[in-house]
Structure 1
Amino acid sequence: MNTIYINARFLTQTVTGVQRYAIELIKEIDKLIDCGEVDGTNYSFCLLSPANVVTQLELKHIRHRSVGKLKGHAWEQLELPFYSKGGLLINLCNTGPAFKRNQVVTIHDASVFSYPNAFSFAFRSWYQFLTVRLGKISKRVITVSNFSKGELIQHCKIAAQKVSVTHLGIDHIHERQAAHGTLEKYGIESPYVLAVSTMNPYKNFKLIFEILPEVQAQNLNVVIVGSQNSKVFSSHIQNESEAVQWVGYVSDEELKALYENAAGFIFPSLYEGFGLPPLEAMALGCPVIVSSRGSIPEVCGEAGLYFDPHHPQEAASRLVEIASNPDLVQQLSTKGKEHSSFFSWNKCAKDTINIIMNAV
């Protein structure tokens, strides 16, 4: 039997886009084994994680072992190679052991190269080294958009034939029940525009503050979901306004309620490897106003209203359109639901399994 190990360090981390990808992909692979589309008699899958797990997955066929005494990067570099020897190692969250060749790695973007000043010196230096190294020694590299594939080839000199693209899925947002009383819990007044992201400088949240007069002129508030991480990011936004409400990190059920009740969703990012939040908003019928940079046009297609993130007035005019044109809102809502339905974790898992089997 072929043993395939999965680097499950992501189970020790707060769930953002990268961890969401790993969690949903693992659950879907488990389903593929259950229905016989992946041969569970010939392939054995095993999650390996440090002991400090914060997310538990209910899986039928994929085992989970907490191994080693270390945690974080030290565990990944020093202990994980030992526990995964004798099998192929799958890394889903940008990192992996720098000196193991029998592995496959998902690298979501090349932001440490394209926007180096957005990260602390230590973080940037380590990830630049590790991304190039993993691209060189891994059997296969997976990324999440054609945009990211081009970025990795350009910055890390990875051979094009070594890189495969698998788009993320959206099914998870439909599996949750929206939490009742979410707006009351956070004291949110409708109508509001929602923004969801980590507070990385290249996420361009300063644009929202630059267009606040126009937002307020439409009697809209702004609700921002996301946590700041000053250990990673070299700077972060420090703006206060009565029209802007920061709610920090919320549960999946609360996030669904915020999407469903929003008048619109804004995503002003200067750079994205994929960009899951606007797709989540679309899936729930929330009209999206999105930046025209990075992978965003590839992901959102013709179902979003675009603006140049370097021109705040363009974003403001898009918001005015949303606030003043109910027919446009309905049109975007319908288009968004249709477009998002093409993104499934089942397809992502099948494409990923094919890559893994070729690597085995």
Structure 2
Amino acid sequence: MADTDGLVINGRFATQTLSGVQRFAGEMTRAVARIWTEPSTLPHLLAPRGRLANSAGFGLPVEQAGRLTGQLWEQIELPRFAGRRILISLGNTAPLFARRQLVVLHDAAVFAQPYGYSWKFRLWYRFLQKSLCRTDARLVTVSEFSRRELARYLGVSVSRISVIPEGGEHIRQTPPDPSVLMQYDLSRRPFVLAVGNLAPHKNLRSLSALAATLHERGIPLVISGGANPSVFGAEAVLPQPALYVGRVTDGQLHALYQAASCFVFPSLYEGFGLPAVEAMACGCPVVAAAIPSLQEVCADAAVYADPDEPEAIRARVLQVLDDSQLSERLRENGYRRADFYTWDKAAQALLALTHSGSR
């Protein structure tokens, strides 16, 4: 089978802990399965042997092959089992010696925000991504901002990199689970929500002034997310007082977005900014960092603040909390903006690139 033409998706992401990149890969894979019109030629998910995060293959047939795991499996065994098929890698990494492939690089954070990653992670990603530019791989990213950034840091023309959107409807399609609201006594009081990991460029430390003012008002700042110490080298200084709920399920996250009075997203650097789209899809007013990627994605569906100015972030969030007309306008604009981003649309754009041939 590995020596026949067709499409195969790199399933290494299915063995990894869920984060933004794995979310993108999983939802894109589901969308490809959903929109594919010829069952006899359905792409396969090619993954290492062992337990997958989703045993159903995200809607695609699963091939588990090889004896290795992690980067070794991806670099050594994956290209052999992919054979002549077009290999689609959705999560920033890909084998250097695949015959025909398309690779999604989400952002240039390891170049632009190096202090947020361990030295081993930076060294490998920089080497790998620059090396991929010297192959015939078709390069893809998720925003015009990331396209410009990757072209700059990788030393390639912007014409070498294509752009496809992300989606956000997955969060709305998951029934809300109010257990997290009841567990933390959030059902009957206003709160402000932030979602992010401990990477310094997520900039959670900038929320300290906001947290203090909200505490005086009896309004909790709720923070959801996790951290991977093997990736993030520096430990962020986290705002206090705040209510940390850790990693939550999609249903619980839906309930948090739906119940929150405001979603605040203070990142210094994003390739796309999926949490902002999720919040908009759930009708939560958004205060976002005034950075190019978030302004590109959110447009008029958010109000913006300088992420380097904690007082500006605090003022913007309080403005949303205190101005019901502004809050309602952001909700309405958010619903419309979120409808623009769907995984089916993203998958159609992805498949169109495979049909146009690899570079």
TM-score normalised by L of structure 2: 0.94
Q: Is 1:17–2:16 an aligned residue pair? A: no
Residues 104, 138 of structure 1: 8 Å contact kept: no
1:215 alignment counterpart: 214
Deviations 1:196-241 (A, max 9, x none): 1121101111001243222224432111111011111111224473
Residues 104, 359 of structure 1: 8 Å contact kept: no
2:82 alignment counterpart: 84
1:151 alignment counterpart: 149
Q: Is 1:27–2:42 an aligned residue pair? A: no
Structure 2 Cα separation of the partners of residues 6 and 100 of structure 1: 12
Structure 2 Cα separation of the partners of residues 135 and 22 of structure 1: 21
Deviations 1:254-279 (A, max 9, x none): 00001111110000000000000011
1:302 alignment counterpart: 300
1:291 alignment counterpart: 289
Task: Tell me: CA distance 1:287–1:78, structure 2 relative to 1, closer, same or farther (3 Å).
Answer: same
Q: Is 1:327–2:325 an aligned residue pair? A: yes
Structure 1 Cα separation of the partners of residues 238 and 59 of structure 2: 48
2:225 alignment counterpart: 226
Structure 2 Cα separation of the partners of residues 356 and 84 of structure 1: 15
Using the TM superposition, give the Cα deviation of residue 187 of structure 1 relative to its aligned residue in structure 2, in angstroms. Answer: 4.5
1:107 alignment counterpart: 105
5+ residue gaps in structure 2? none
Structure 1 Cα separation of the partners of residues 341 and 201 of structure 2: 25
Residues 3, 46 of structure 1: 8 Å contact kept: no
Give the counterpart letter for 1:136 in structure 2.
R
Alignment of 1:112-151 (within 5 A): 112-151=110-149
Structure 2 Cα separation of the partners of residues 245 and 151 of structure 1: 35
Structure 2 Cα separation of the partners of residues 188 and 339 of structure 1: 27
Residues 100, 137 of structure 1: 8 Å contact kept: no
Q: Is 1:162–2:155 an aligned residue pair? A: no
1:199 alignment counterpart: 198
Using the TM superposition, give the Cα deviation of residue 59 of structure 1 relative to its aligned residue in structure 2, in angstroms. Answer: 6.2
Using the TM superposition, give the Cα deviation of residue 77 of structure 1 relative to its aligned residue in structure 2, in angstroms. Answer: 1.1
Structure 1 Cα separation of the partners of residues 337 and 354 of structure 2: 28
Deviates more, 1:321-330 or 1:305-314: 321-330
Report the secondary structure of 2:221's partner residue: strand
Structure 2 Cα separation of the partners of residues 356 and 292 of structure 1: 34
Structure 2 Cα separation of the partners of residues 101 and 117 of structure 1: 34
Give the counterpart letter for 1:69 in structure 2.
R
Using the TM superposition, give the Cα deviation of residue 253 of structure 1 relative to its aligned residue in structure 2, in angstroms. Answer: 0.3
Using the TM superposition, give the Cα deviation of residue 54 of structure 1 relative to its aligned residue in structure 2, in angstroms. Answer: 3.5
Using the TM superposition, give the Cα deviation of residue 87 of structure 1 relative to its aligned residue in structure 2, in angstroms. Answer: 1.6
Using the TM superposition, give the Cα deviation of residue 100 of structure 1 relative to its aligned residue in structure 2, in angstroms. Answer: 2.5
TM-score normalised by L of structure 1: 0.93
Report the secondary structure of 1:295's partner residue: helix
Task: Tell me: CA distance 1:2–1:99, structure 2 relative to 1, closer, same or farther (3 Å).
Answer: closer
Structure 2 Cα separation of the partners of residues 235 and 18 of structure 1: 20
Task: Tell me: CA distance 1:187–1:14, structure 2 relative to 1, closer, same or farther (3 Å).
Answer: farther
Report the secondary structure of 1:136's partner residue: coil
Task: Tell me: CA distance 1:151–1:49, structure 2 relative to 1, closer, same or farther (3 Å).
Answer: same
Q: Is 1:3–2:1 an aligned residue pair? A: no
Deviates more, 1:108-117 or 1:21-30: 21-30
2:309 alignment counterpart: 311
Deviates more, 1:167-176 or 1:130-139: 130-139
Task: Tell me: CA distance 1:113–1:334, structure 2 relative to 1, closer, same or farther (3 Å).
Answer: same
Structure 1 Cα separation of the partners of residues 16 and 59 of structure 2: 23
Residues 168, 344 of structure 1: 8 Å contact kept: yes
Give the counterpart letter for 2:224 in structure 1.
V
Return the match for 1:172 from 170, 173, 186.
170
Structure 1 stretches of 4+ with a deviation exceeding 6 A read none
Give the counterpart letter for 1:72 in structure 2.
G
- Computed over aligned residues only, the root mean square deviation of the Cα atoms, in angstroms, reads 1.8
Percent of aligned positions that are identical: 35
Using the TM superposition, give the Cα deviation of residue 86 of structure 1 relative to its aligned residue in structure 2, in angstroms. Answer: 2.1
Using the TM superposition, give the Cα deviation of residue 133 of structure 1 relative to its aligned residue in structure 2, in angstroms. Answer: 1.3
Structure 1 Cα separation of the partners of residues 136 and 61 of structure 2: 24
Structure 2 Cα separation of the partners of residues 175 and 211 of structure 1: 31
Structure 2 Cα separation of the partners of residues 264 and 60 of structure 1: 32
Structure 1 Cα separation of the partners of residues 58 and 239 of structure 2: 47
Task: Tell me: CA distance 1:60–1:141, structure 2 relative to 1, closer, same or farther (3 Å).
Answer: closer
Residues 90, 103 of structure 1: 8 Å contact kept: yes
Deviates more, 1:132-141 or 1:104-113: 132-141
